[in-house]
Structure 1
Amino acid sequence: ILQLKKPEYTCMTVLTDKEETGSDGNTGLNSSYLPYFINDLAEVYGVNGYNVMSKSECLSADVNAAVDPT
């Protein structure tokens, strides 16, 4: 995504944690921060955030920890 010079559509990266525990907490994907963010961003452009989300595509990936503090 950092190498995109002028994308045709809006692109974003979302980094979350807590997927091992059910994506809970304020930084997991079960929180409301992502829909609120997309709604706020869409509002700036005068479009409905839920329409934006329904027409969006997502690539999801999981990785191993780079450092295991235990």
Structure 2
Amino acid sequence: MKTITIAAFILALLAVPAHAQGRRQQGGAEETRAKQQDTKPKVDEKAYKAALERIPEPKEKYDPWGVARPAEPAKKTR
């Protein structure tokens, strides 16, 4: 009987953190979502497009694998 009581107590202690993770706050969740949406900065499409136009075009194309492989293929020697 003592062993069963100890086992039940240990299982109860292990279940407490799992139970706490499943709890949610009551109310207020809708209010916080509305506040988060209001605090986001508004995107100005005209300013965004103007900023993209100010980015200069690169003179040579970017090669992400340029470091991993040589620029020219190796010539075959016989």
The interval holding the TM-score normalised by the smaller chain is under 0.3
Normalization by structure 1: what TM-score? 0.22
Q: Higher helix proportion, which one?
A: 2
Higher relative contact order (CA 8 A, sep 6+): 1
Name which one, 1 or 2, has greater alpha-carbon Rg.
2
